[in-house]
Amino acid sequence: MDPVQNPFSPGAGAPPPELVGRSQILEQARVLFGRVIAGKPEKSVILTGLRGVGKTVLLNEMKELANDAGYREVFIEAPEEKSLGDMLAPAFRTLLFDLDRMQGVSEKVKYGLRVFRGWLGTPQVTINDVTFGLAYDPEKGVADSGNLEADLIALFVAVGEAARDRKCGVALLIDEVQYLNQEELSALIVAMHRLQQLQLPFVLIGAGLPTIPGLAGAAKSYAERLFSYPIIGALSESDSALALSEPTKAQGVSFSKDALKEVFRLTRGYPYFIQEWGYQAWNISEDRHIDVADVERATSRVIPRLDESFFRVRYDRLTPSERRYLRAMAELGPSSCRTGAIADFLEVWDQSGPS
């Protein structure tokens, strides 16, 4: 079939042609946005899960829900080498200017701009070779102490008050939360705690690896009560079938039941893998009905693609000891492994040498 018309989208953060199995999480976000902008308390959300399960896709869906609910959205991705302040500065500048351009003069927004100017510390800031500044005098003694935790609280409160004055909310969406260092994560948690106490229309939607709840709890013990941590995992067999069959149905293409079962057996419902198998099966099929033989032929293409890209990128970043640990897990079979069993295997393997 024509690869240009292929509906499947295996890629980092690429939205699938059919978003299935996530309605409960999206409804949770809708309720959060509605309650907080109405001045009612509700836990912010941090999505957790392995790579390739669709966390970034959900963040983008929640961004649209926030916009529909009357929020201004700030979307940032936390890279390993950039500070939280560097990520927030240009985004908050745009946000505050947007609030300032709304009809009517708002002293709360003007105050927020002065607080932001004090938080920046200098009239001009250069980030990623882009220089910007603010033609405002700083609000002395607010968000300018140099203490990240205290200053972030003051900045977030000023932004939240400015948004409330403009009868809107602020949704801060952060992808790859695990890359925040402990000081930044702690400051973010404390600031969100203060916002909730003041019932300001400011919410945090984050996404990161399964380590996030532990990291947040270690940073501040009350983080478990401040945030909800939905686990984004594999799809059920029925949802996996929908993710494959619905996008193709619109183009008059169908999957056989056996083909759908085989894809689920191979992928175990892992969303990224479903997109890979669907993509290759479409390209391989010679008619408008994808059967189990097409899936089997697709497998011969998918496995090398995963080895060369999806797995290699992760494997190349491992230390030698981490690679040995993975080898031990693979040798012990596909079921879950006890740490003791891995240690026993490694001790024997080290004595006899790799086979």
Whether 311 is covered by a domain: the verdict is: yes
Candidate from 164-168, 204-208, 325-329, 350-354 with smallest mean pLDDT: 350-354
Same domain for 185 and 246, yes or no, is no
In a 13 Å sphere around the CA of 27, the CA atoms on its Cβ side amount to 4
For residue range 58-114, what is the model confidence (pLDDT) as tens digits? Answer: 999 999 999 999 999 999 998 777 899 989 998 999 999 999 999 888 999 999 999
> Pick from 170, 201, 228: which residue ends a domain?
228
Same domain for 173 and 245, yes or no, is no
pLDDT at 56 over 90: yes
Whether 132 is covered by a domain: the verdict is: yes
Mean pLDDT of the chain: 90
Which residues, listed in sequence order, are joined to residue 231 by a DSSP beta bridge?
48
Domain encompassing residue 307: 235-348
Read off the DSSP letter of residue 231.
B
Whether 1 is covered by a domain: the verdict is: no
> Pick from 228, 244, 265: which residue ends a domain?
228
Same domain for 161 and 268, yes or no, is no
Whether 17 is covered by a domain: the verdict is: no
Q: At 352, is the pLDDT very low, low, confident or very high (cuts 50, 70, 90)?
A: low
Same domain for 305 and 175, yes or no, is no
Decide: 69 and 80 in contact? Cβ < 8 Å. Answer: no
Comparison of pLDDT for 159 and 18, the residue scoring more = 159
Count the Cβ atoms, other than its own, within 10 Å of residue 345: 18
For residue range 267-319, what is the model confidence (pLDDT) as tens digits? Answer: 999 999 999 999 999 999 988 899 999 999 999 999 998 888 878 887 888 89
Whether 199 is covered by a domain: the verdict is: yes
Decide: 118 and 143 in contact? Cβ < 8 Å. Answer: yes
- 17's CB contacts (< 8 A; 6+ apart) are 7, 8, 9, 246, 247
Same domain for 117 and 260, yes or no, is no
- 46's CB contacts (< 8 A; 6+ apart) are 177, 204, 205, 206, 207, 208, 212, 213, 216, 227, 228, 229
Whole-number pLDDT of residue 172: 98
Across the range 326-346, mean pLDDT stands at 84
User: In 3D, which of 224, 202, 204 has the Cα closest to residue 213?
Assistant: 224
Whole-number pLDDT of residue 191: 97
Whether 262 is covered by a domain: the verdict is: yes
Same domain for 59 and 175, yes or no, is yes
Whether 8 is covered by a domain: the verdict is: no
Dist CA 99 CA 96 (whole Å): 5
Same domain for 221 and 240, yes or no, is no
Whole-number pLDDT of residue 59: 96
Work out how many domains the chain is built from and give that number: 2
For residue range 218-234, what is the model confidence (pLDDT) as tens digits? Answer: 999 899 889 999 999 99
* 124-127 and 130-133 strand pairing: antiparallel
pLDDT at 10 over 80: yes
Whole-number pLDDT of residue 280: 96
Dist CA 265 CA 277 (whole Å): 11
Same domain for 203 and 240, yes or no, is no
Edge-first strand listing for the sheet containing 169-175: 71-77, 169-175, 202-208, 44-48, 227-228
Whole-number pLDDT of residue 73: 96
Structure-block tokens of residue 299: 């497998």
Same domain for 214 and 267, yes or no, is no
Same domain for 210 and 62, yes or no, is yes
Same domain for 271 and 337, yes or no, is yes
Comparison of pLDDT for 187 and 306, the residue scoring more = 187
Same domain for 31 and 151, yes or no, is yes
Whole-number pLDDT of residue 355: 45
pLDDT at 216 over 60: yes
pTM of the complete model: 0.87
CATH number for the domain spanning 47: value is 3.40.50.300
> Pick from 170, 204, 228: which residue ends a domain?
228
Whole-number pLDDT of residue 304: 92
